[in-house]
Each structure stands twice: as C-alpha cells, then as structure tokens.
Amino acid sequence: MLRQALLVASRSGGARKVVETAPFTGDLVRRFIAGETIDDAARVTSDLTSDGLLVSLDVLGEDTHDKGHAEANVQNYVELLERLGAAGLGARAEVSLKLSAVGQTFGEDLALENARRVCVAASSAGTTVTLDMEEHTTVDSTLRIVHELRREYPDVGAVVQSYLRRAEEHCAELAYEGSRVRLCKGAYAAPAPIAFTDKEDIDKSYVRCMKVLMAGKGYPMLATHDPRLIDIAGALSVLDERDANTFEYQMLYGVRPQEQRRLAAHGAQVRVYVAYGREWYQYVMRRLAERPGNLRFFMRALVGR
C-alpha cells in the first residue's frame, strides 16, 4: 500500500517541485546520490573503482516532456563520457541511460537517435551503455531500441524486470552470445495482468530468469541486494561452470556497500549503479518505495531536523 503511494507520488509533478527545490542536504538523498555535479560523479567513481568495484553512472533527469530538456540530457551524457574517457575510466565505468530522459515521450525515432549519440560518445570513451527499463508501457519500445542499437553497438546492455510476467520469455530471447543483460526485480508500479505483485512471486520469477541467463551464452548482470538471490546466483555460477569474469553482480550506490566489497574481495565482479544530478526526486522516491523504512529519515531531512 505504502509502496504504491510512494510510486504514485514519484510521478507527481507538484510534489516533485516542492521536494526537489529543498536544499540538497538530507542524509537520505546524500546516501543514494553521488552529488549534483559531474565532479561529484567523477570523485565517487574514482573512489569505487579504487576499491575494486565497477560503476554504471546515471545522469538524473527522466520522464521529460520537453525536447530542449531531452537535448540537455544527451549533452550531459556526452560531457560525462568525455570526462570518463579523459580520466581513463572507460574500462571500469559505463553509463546507464533512461530513454524517457532523451525523448521517448516524443516517439521511438527521437529516443533511438539520441541514444545512438550517447553510444557514439561511449564508444569513443572505450565504454558501454545499458538502457534502463522503465514503466511497463515502454518495455516493447525499449527492447526494439536495444535491438536496433546492437546492430552497430553489440555491447549495449538490456534490462529485464522479473516482476513482468513475460520476464522469462525476454531472458530466453536475450541469452545469446555477447548479449549483456541486467536482471532486476522492477521498480515501477505495474498492474496485475502484466506483472506479479506478490513479493514471493517476483522473487521466484527472478530465480527462473537467473537460471535462463546463467545457463545461456550471454553476459548476465544480476542487479539485486537480496541475500537469498545472491546466494542462488553463486550456486548457479558453480552449476553452470561460469568463471567470475563471465557475469557480474550489480547494486545501487548507498545500498549494502559492505556486501558490495565482500563479493568483490571474493573475486566477483561487482558494479555499483551511481546516480548524480539535480533531478533526484523520482529516483529517490523509488528507493523509498523499495524500503519504506527509509521514509522516516527522508521526512526528517525535508523538514530540516
């Protein structure tokens, strides 16, 4: 119930205006976001990579209904990728891109064109792009764009959300040689005919998807903080005789940082998803929906106590 309310609030423009203009001082926001600027992102990336972790950077700013804003988002990604390339971080840090940030609302052509520009910049920086998966209404369009981009950039990452009833089918289609696939549970609100809504069903679907990806020929990117699922991933890697460099774990910046380092210390590849920028509202609201216990800290930060 609270999760649904938080996800609805995440889409409310009014709430966003009020909350986002509050000073960027709340501990909770700082916990999940690297900072507001490209310098903050570069600093956090450098710290994480020095600790043996990989990074995927997300420039905040999604769900845009303004073409100028979409263009600014593309420019921000290009600038970030130039910075990563110049710092020689391309081998350890990639970017995650939301198509809603670069014009998907205006149609598939604009989103494809803009995503391609980000792929060109990533390729020059010696790194890759993963297309985040968003609302269920955009899944087919996003997968079409992944397939189109992969003609020129085969290393473009796709995302499957295990809460979707079609998730296993998507995994089977994507588990081919060279295909990078992030598996996550799904962070948006989706109706019952399309998605599992019960946590147990979502987790079981995650396991079925993981089995398909780990037994397949692609490169699974297992995005979860769930200890049970991480254990199962480890068992599957043994069963499927996968070397540590043929798949990776992924976690969010600010969530279970010790576990990130523990896995890396045991030889696993671990990538941390690092978001930065001023437009943090929707991202942070989804983090609250995942763990409503965080809400208390957020409210305290908002009212300045």
- The contact set with ligand FDA (CB under 6 A) reads 132-133, 159, 161, 184-188, 223-226, 250-252, 255-256, 273, 287, 290-291, 294
Catalytic residue check, 291: no
Q: How far is the CB of 253 from ligand FDA (least distance, A)?
A: 9
Q: How far is the CB of 89 from ligand FDA (least distance, A)?
A: 18
Which one is catalytic: 182, 203, 271, 287? 182
Identify the sign of the CA torsion 123, 128, 131, 132. negative
Rounded CA-CA distance 87/90 in Å is 8
Identify the sign of the CA torsion 41, 134, 122, 262. positive
Nearer to ligand FDA, 17 or 119 (CB): 119
Catalytic residue check, 132: yes
Nearer to ligand FDA, 10 or 224 (CB): 224
Q: How far is the CB of 188 from ligand FDA (least distance, A)?
A: 6
DSSP SS3 for 264:
helix
Which one is catalytic: 132, 180, 203, 271? 132
Nearer to ligand FDA, 82 or 295 (CB): 295
Nearer to ligand FDA, 19 or 223 (CB): 223
DSSP 89-152: -TTTEEEEE-GGGGTGGG-HHHHHHHHHHHHHHHHHTT--EEE----GGGHHHHHHHHHHHHHH
Q: How far is the CB of 217 from ligand FDA (least distance, A)?
A: 22
The neighbour count for residue 257, using CB atoms within 10 Å, is: 16
Residues assigned a catalytic role: 132, 182
